Structure 1
Amino acid sequence: MRRIVIPAWAVGILLFFFGLAGAFPIKSKGALDFWVDGASFASDSGQTWQEIYWSIRAGDFTARDTLGRKMALFRTEILLKDQKGALVLNEGWNSLSPLPTEQMLKQKDMVLLDQVEARRLKPGSYNLLMTITDLAGEKQGMVDTIFDVPGYGDLGLSHIELSSGIAVDSIPGRFKKGSLTVKPWPSRAFDDELYYYYEIYNLAPAADTLNKRYLRVLYFSEKDPAQKIISHKEIASNPGPLSDYGGLRIDDLPEGRYRLRAQLIQGSRILANSYANFEITHPGMIMLAEKEKIAGEIAQMERDGGGYSDRIEYIGAKQQIDLLSKLDENGKKELLRRFWKQRDPLPETKENEALIAHAQRCRYADQNFAENFAGGLKGSQTERGRIYIKYGPWDDREITTNALQNRPYDIWSYDNGRKFIFFDKAGIGKFELLYSKTSEEKTDPEYRQYISDF
């Protein structure tokens, strides 16, 4: 028998891209196709929180007419057993879900998403048996797979959850990670953009202050093993679990199989790592037309914003601002496109009036509130600039002088009752916000010693 020696690196690549039997994501067998994916995170008392996600194309269900509306009637059943055969999850339910119109299905391949959680699992192997049955069409799909649940007692990273979108959302609901909604994409087949979320556990205070610790996120492909870094940032030693998330535009990347990897590194050492495989596909002309439309919207946004469209730090939610700093250049443009599109008061016009007004405020602040001394800030970065950009121009303004210190203060009044008073404490042109007649801004408790008339 001829012996074939396969180099170790080749074995690694084969296992890496083709995966082991039963590894997530996995496609169902049977007449009804659906995808199942999973990710685990630390839970209480050394146990693991396991999430299981699935997606199914809305157009694959047999439509059932209910009160003049086309609906899908289907049943989902999930059994999860540990390696001893003990049942740890047993759920089943019927769903009646409205189906999109035929026109909507032609425009976009729409899917139904759902998930369950096993909240306190011991580390080990588990058997997942899941079926979805189309009760109107008598079709069924099934997944029967074994997967490993890790433990998180030591320094480590959670699984990476790959997502089709991450958004700030304070409303309780599905797919929540704290104040974020992380929308799973169980097939892990992406076309235009993907997002990622993972957590960091048991990070002790750094003993070596010279070798700082960093989180690095990178990707590479089956065809191109060169690693491309998405994010590289220093990480502090905070008590409790930490999380990291970000995104990547992939519409310009070639089709194929990829790996996204997160690493906790110190110096040249990798302290912990996690990875997730995914695939890039670029289907057809409909998506091309959509991309051209998006490109046009981004170009219009940049015209309307005049260089200020990314200055959302005073008007955006904290998570949006954090996410913006974690995206690559194309991802930032997409986030800003959506941000301003949601705020467009007249979407039927080509211009975005809200963005144009925002750019005018930023430009005015830069031209009128700059600190003209060594190390001074641009006008849009000062306290007066921030208030002007956030709340708009005043209805009445008074600039006067403190009688005792002979230093100016600037009073802005608004017809809606808001009032702001800024004072140049040092007498060098650096105005600070001392008084605010709104709960949204802080007032210096000692403001009266500077402006006794108020």
Structure 2
Amino acid sequence: MLKNRCLKIILNLIFVLLPLAQVGLAQISTSDSLTVWLDYACFKFNPQQDSLLGPGQKLAYVEIYYALDRSQLDTSAVEDIHAILNLSMKIEDFQQNNIDSLSWTVGCTVFPTDAAQTNFILYDLQALQLLAGEYILNFQVNQANTSKVGRQKMTLKVPDFSDQHLKLSDIQLALGADPDTSESKFVKAGRMILPNATKIYGATSPVLYFYSEAYNLSPGSADNTYNVSYSILDSLGNIYKEYPSSSIKKPGSSSVILSGLNISTLPNGKYQLQINLEDPLSHSKATAKKEFWVRKETPATQLTSEERFVPQNEQEAEIIRAELSYIATQDELRMYDQLNLTGKQSFVKEFWNKKDPDPLTPVNEFKIQFYQRIFEANQMFASQSDDRKTGWRTNQGRIYVVYGKPDFIERHHYTRQVKPWEKWIYNNLQGGAYFIFSDEDGYGVFRLVHSTARGEKNDPDWEKALQEIIEE
């Protein structure tokens, strides 16, 4: 019933294997000027494909979804309104061993005719096979003949589908699921599943489409159905909305779960979709979760709603305190800590009112910029955080939120002699300042070791400290 994924890769994925090169001290001095979103989903291979690798192999089929804002592309470097994008991704384990490398080229329209529907977002996917385990994906896109470049990093957690227990695949979020009989790489189960790598839904995409697969259903004549239901969880993991359970006839030991939920009544914020699967015959249950965001307004107004940024309980009050600690004074934080929940709600409203650079406008521009940076930091630095989600809490995430996007980034890559480190340069910060981050442990977690900005960590011997780290 499920697609033959080996054939799908041959038809839809042309890739080049790149050996892991030893990169010297050559510096990349560039500004990441293209915003890239990444997402992924893992599915089980069918038995025929698994057998090709021999017994005991725990291989999964992994789809990498990426999205790009086409409005950021350089229109002066295109021909007949088409831009050429050079893309690559490298997958490593947490010991920095190279697992796989792919590179490919795509063309896209710079002035898309469907701009009103897609908001200039280009969506695409690549597919590969990985053994069960945890990996780091480094993704890069460059517009040909320009200095436009975008980079993104993401943790891949590949499940083990080899046992016979009831299981669900990962959830693929989608923007649509129209019937389609073509051989497109987006087609699954006779539907065009257009991936939504941004994980954002709102006014132009009010239906949360999703695709998943159920494995190891127990066939039998006594009860040949399984039950599936859906729940929406809020940012704290509590059930926000539940949908009634449906009983579905088993097509065999595996089945496709494909649906769409109208989320137009959900307030702005972060949520999780949860699929609940039950097999009455085997008395087994399985669940899968996927994070998504609701943003109903355009970027210029999406953060004017107070409901998302005023704490509704003490847990949210702690989260908001952590966010505000980046820009609040110590006196303000001490005052916040002494208040009850009602007082903290009033404090947050007054705090942002004081920060509003132009009270005559209907939006608080400073507040919009602050939370937009938090969102972007979560996208860029989540793989460095302890929970793989809160990228804004990392060293690089904090600097990004407080000071914004650097004008230039120098990246010094790994060799046998040198561990990775980065230099972020801000030309207009305090007359020119920079930040040095070092991947001291070699696991892709960059920590601040030195800066010339006032109030930040300053170590005049930072170069010597890097050398000492190298020599250990």
* TM-score normalised per structure 1: 0.51
Confirm or deny that 1:202 pairs with 2:216. yes
Taking a change above 3 Å as real, the CA distance of residues 41 and 65 of structure 1, as seen in their structure-2 partners, is same
Cα shift readout 1:310-366 (whole Å, capped 9, x = no counterpart):
xxxxxxxxxxxxxxxxxxxxxxxxxxxxxxxxxxxxxxxxxxxxxxxxxxxxxxxxx
Instruction: Report which structure shows greater RCO (CA 8 Å, sep ≥6).
Output: 2
1:214 aligns to what?
A: 227
Q: In the alignment, what sits opposite 1:118? A: 128
Residue aligning to 1:18: none
User: 1:225 Cα shift?
Assistant: 3.1
Deviations 1:362-392 (A, max 9, x none): xxxxxxxxxxxxxxxxxxxxxxxxxxxxxxx
2:253 is matched with: 240
- How big is the shift at 1:157? 0.3
Alpha-carbon offset, residue 99 of structure 1: 1.4
Alignment of 1:320-359 (within 5 A): none
What is the letter of the counterpart of residue 165 of structure 1? G
Unmatched segments (≥5 aa) in structure 1: 1-28, 289-454
Show the counterpart of 1:378.
none
**How far apart, CA to CA, are the structure 2 residues paired with 1:50 and 1:65?**
33
User: Partner letter of residue 249 of structure 1?
Assistant: N
Q: Please state if 1:274 is matched with 2:283.
A: no
Larger Rg: 1
Question: What is the Cα deviation at residue 158 of structure 1?
Answer: 0.4
Who is 1:257 aligned against?
270
C-alpha distance in 2, partners of 1:30/1:247?
Answer: 35
* CA offset digits 1:386-416 (Å, max 9, x no partner): xxxxxxxxxxxxxxxxxxxxxxxxxxxxxxx
Return the alpha-carbon distance in structure 1 between the equivalents of residues 266 and 120 of structure 2: 23
- Runs of 5+ unmatched residues, structure 2: 1-30, 51-57, 303-472
1:139 aligned onto 2:148 = yes
Shift of 1:83: 5.0
Matches within 5 A, 1:142-153: 142-153=151-162
Mapped to 2, the partners of 1:281 and 1:199 lie a distance apart of 28
Measured in 2, the distance between the counterparts of 1:146 and 1:212 equals: 35
Deviation of the 1:82 alpha carbon: 4.0
1:37 touches 1:52 (CA, 8 Å); kept in 2?
A: yes
TM-superposed deviation, 1:222: 2.6
C-alpha spacing 1:224/1:93, structure 2 compared with 1 (3 Å): closer
The residue that corresponds to 2:53 in the other structure is none
The whole-number CA distance in structure 2 between the counterparts of 1:242 and 1:48 is: 17
Task: Check conservation: 1:64, 1:73, Cα contact below 8 A.
Answer: no
Q: Report whether the alignment pairs 1:171 with 2:185.
A: no
Amino acid at match of 1:264: L
Q: Which residue of 1 aligns with 2:39?
A: 37
CA–CA distance in structure 1, aligned partners of residues 114 and 38 of structure 2: 24
What SS class does the counterpart of residue 30 from structure 1 fall into? coil
Question: CA 1:237–1:93 in structure 2 vs 1: closer, same or farther (change >3 Å)?
Answer: closer
Residue in 2 that maps onto 1:297: none
Question: How many angstroms does 1:91 deviate by?
Answer: 1.7
Q: 1:54 to 1:159 in 2, by over 3 A?
A: same
Q: Measure the CA separation in 1 of the matches of 2:244 and 2:103.
A: 41
Measured against aligned partners, the alpha-carbon deviations of 1:26-74 in whole angstroms (never above 9, x if no partner) come to: xxx932111000000001324210000000011011014655x223232
- Contact 1:107/1:286 (CA < 8 Å) preserved in 2? no
Conserved in 2, the CA contact under 8 Å of 1:64 and 1:71?
Answer: no
CA distance in 2, matches of 1:111, 1:166: 18
**Contact residue 64 and residue 136 of structure 1 kept, 8 A:** no
Which residue, out of 224, 230, 240, partners 2:243? 230
User: What is the alpha-carbon distance in structure 2 between the residues aligned to residue 100 and residue 225 of structure 1?
Assistant: 42
Of 140-149 and 272-281, deviating more is 140-149
Number of aligned residues = 256
How far apart in 2 are the matches of 1:57 and 1:157? 32
- Compared CA separation, residues 84 and 286, structure 1 to 2 (3 A): closer
- Name the Cα RMSD after superposition: 3.2
TM-score by length of structure 2 reads 0.49
Instruction: Tell me, in whole angstroms, the C-alpha distance in 1 between the residues paired with 2:194 and 2:35.
Output: 20
In the alignment, is residue 71 of structure 1 matched against residue 71 of structure 2? no
Whole-angstrom distance in 1 between the partners of 2:290 and 2:66? 16
- Contact 2:133/2:158 (<8 A) preserved: yes
